[in-house]
Structure 1
Amino acid sequence: MNDKLVTVFGGGGFVGRYVVQALLRAGARVRVAERDPRRAWFLKPLGGLGQMQFVAADVTRADTVHRAVAGADAVINLVGVLEGAFEAIHVTGARNVAEAAAGAGVEALVHMSAIGADPAARSAYGSTKGRGEEAVRAAFPRAAIIRPSIVFGREDQFLNRFAGMIEAFPVVPVLRAPVKFQPVFAADVGDAFAAALAPEHAGRTFELGGPDVMSMGEIIRWLATTLGRKPSIVELPDAAGALLASLPLAPITTDQWQMLQRDNVVAPDAPGLAALGIEATPLATVAPDWLVRFRRKGRFGRRAETLYHA
């Protein structure tokens, strides 16, 4: 990948920063495409002289997408939303990127989807992700598609959100406690996108998950133990969860509630991280390093406890 130019749509996002880092380590030149490129300027110090470019692009506007892929050797599309303009972003936007990549004659396209993507899914998120995959393959049949489970990392809005709740409240309600996830480390996802650009992966679909399959209840309890806190953990019945999701200003949307009705784990026969030459990182080996800020007295408390028990 040395000196290849890769356009990364959404490179300034949570997953994007890890994808960009992986590409830079591989020697690629990276063009980060964002609606507001200033959101991605924090990436500048990661690249060498002339290794980073920034361009304004909106995946829903085909003209800006075509400009962003002009002259690129490969394209990665990471743009997605958890609520709001699902059709515009996941279907129209995905189609725009794939058609622009095909028109520009790029060597490879890697598209970010999600486990559970299915045009027939009950949730708008899952159904538009599924139709987005169809749109990408129709325009660029050689595209590689990556479907991660829930992605965790230092900047995530998953572990950090629940850790903040455990830190702040004596009682922590849990929605859909039995539903299973296979949390995958953001750095592994970044490496996977870079690896998927290789010609031998053209046209393949990968599902990414870590080595641990955990229920929502197990994740919350693991967090509480890791943080050294003992909140009362209340597993809400589904009737209460559905009612909560329907309320204005609820912490979860009705569509997100629908997404929680099925496990979010890698299919048994799906190629994953190992097929891309990546060893999955266990949650417990990395997450405590940044979750320590949610412990009482933070790092000082952790250090004091270590010394005391030694």
Structure 2
Amino acid sequence: MIINNVCIFGGSGFVGRHLANVLTDQQIQLRVPTRNYERAKDLLAIPTVDLVEVTAYDDDQLDLLLMGMDAVINLVGVVHGDFHNAHVEMPQKIVAACRRNGIGRILQMSALNAGPNQPSAYLRSKAEGERIVMTSGLAATSFRPSVIFGPGDSSINLFARLGRLPVLALALPDAKFQPIFVENVVQAFTLSLDDPKTFGQSYDLCGPRCYSLRELVEYSAHVTGHDPAIVALNDVLSHLEAAVMEILPGKLMSVDNYYSMKIDNVCDCAKPSNFMEIWGIHPTMLEEVAPIYLAHQTPRERLDCLRHWSAGR
């Protein structure tokens, strides 16, 4: 299968931007639809990206987006809001548009622990979207990552910001995660794109080490020069904190997030990752890269920047 043109739904998001940079190195032409052209304009710096503003994902607009495409990658996902629209209806529309336009290859971003009987609406909707894609009759591959970290992430950066607080009441401090580096994720997508061995397969994507939520928050705070006093909340208080945060501006956490975190977000902490076996990828440790992209938040880095600026005047 020769793939030269790819449409990436959700391509203006965190993973999408990293994926676009990797695919453009392979001279693959990319079409990235977005509802907010101004917010996504930095993608225009990537040579092979065609950024298209879309007002509604109806059949006509989807057909225009998929004209001339060889494959589709669906990265659309939300952690708050209308899960059904983003995770179920969107895959349905994309699959139907692929069929209408003769596109046989699709890659789908799902989530670790996605399943129809999970307590979280997020995980149930992700499972349904994955089912729609994988039973579509198309050459489909699905990926189920744990928490994804890297420059621009919404997890480790959030933990670092929370770590600036002198005291932090932490819900579900023992929740388990196996974070995966964003570059490893996009490598898996890229290497699978034209590989027939991945057709019809679903892959769990996890990093080389498991952490508790408390460990992740403490580490992120430490890297940025902070040492908050963490108050570990029990299950009842964790649920209460989630309910309160759900109605506050910013919505750092919701009750549905609480239900998701009740399930350990890990692959198998006792076994080495199968990245090397499947794709020849050596998974990256959090400690190898987090200090680099969090460094600008440390007092030392801010002081170094100030000294550099002063010396250049």
2:301 counterpart of 1:298: yes
Within 2, Cα distance between the matches of 1:277 and 1:34?
33
Give the equivalent residue in structure 1 for 2:189: 193
Secondary structure at 1:289 match in 2: helix
Secondary structure at 2:281 match in 1: coil
Secondary structure at 1:7 match in 2: strand
Give the equivalent residue in structure 1 for 2:253: 252
Match of 1:162 among 156, 159, 162: 159
Q: Show the 5 A alignment for 1:190-229.
A: 190-198=186-194, 199-229=196-226
Percentage of pairs with the same residue: 33
Within 2, Cα distance between the matches of 1:4 and 1:213?
37
Q: Displacement of 1:3 after TM fit?
A: 7.0
Secondary structure at 2:129 match in 1: helix
Give the equivalent residue in structure 1 for 2:266: 265
- Count of residue pairs brought into register by the alignment: 300
Secondary structure at 2:77 match in 1: coil
Within 2, Cα distance between the matches of 1:123 and 1:201?
28
* Structure 2 unaligned residues grouped into runs of 5+: 308-313
CA separation of 1:65/1:276 partners in 2, compared to 1, >3 Å: closer, same or farther? farther
Does the CA-based 8 Å contact 1:10-1:78 persist in structure 2?
yes
Over the aligned positions, Cα root-mean-square deviation in angstroms equals: 2.5
Secondary structure at 2:163 match in 1: helix
Letter in 2 for 1:242: H
2:179 counterpart of 1:183: yes
Q: Displacement of 1:54 after TM fit?
A: 1.9
Letter in 1 for 2:32: V
Task: Give CA deviations for 1:71-102 in whole Å, capped at 9, x if unaligned.
Answer: 10111000111111111110010111122123
Match of 2:135 among 134, 138, 146: 138
2:227 counterpart of 1:230: yes
Structure 1-normalised TM-score?
0.89
Does the CA-based 8 Å contact 2:20-2:49 persist in structure 1?
no
Task: Give CA deviations for 1:189-219 in whole Å, capped at 9, x if unaligned.
Answer: 1222111212221111111111121111111
Secondary structure at 2:193 match in 1: coil
* Structure 1 unaligned residues grouped into runs of 5+: 305-310
Within 2, Cα distance between the matches of 1:151 and 1:105?
32
Give the equivalent residue in structure 1 for 2:100: 103
Give the equivalent residue in structure 2 for 1:8: 8
Task: Give CA deviations for 1:116-153 in whole Å, capped at 9, x if unaligned.
Answer: 11111111100000111111123244210011110111
Q: Displacement of 1:69 after TM fit?
A: 1.3
Within 2, Cα distance between the matches of 1:189 and 1:59?
28
Within 1, Cα distance between the matches of 2:42 and 2:218?
34
Secondary structure at 1:190 match in 2: helix
Does the CA-based 8 Å contact 2:207-2:284 persist in structure 1?
yes
Match of 1:239 among 236, 239, 245: 236
Task: Give CA deviations for 1:219-271 in whole Å, capped at 9, x if unaligned.
Answer: 12222332332221111111111111122316311111111100111258998
Within 2, Cα distance between the matches of 1:80 and 1:229?
31
Between stretches 35-44 and 108-117, larger displacement belongs to 35-44
Q: Displacement of 1:52 after TM fit?
A: 2.2
Q: Displacement of 1:296 after TM fit?
A: 2.0
CA separation of 1:69/1:270 partners in 2, compared to 1, >3 Å: closer, same or farther? farther
Structure 2-normalised TM-score?
0.88
Does the CA-based 8 Å contact 2:206-2:273 persist in structure 1?
no
CA separation of 1:3/1:44 partners in 2, compared to 1, >3 Å: closer, same or farther? farther
Q: Displacement of 1:60 after TM fit?
A: 4.9
Give the equivalent residue in structure 2 for 1:171: 167
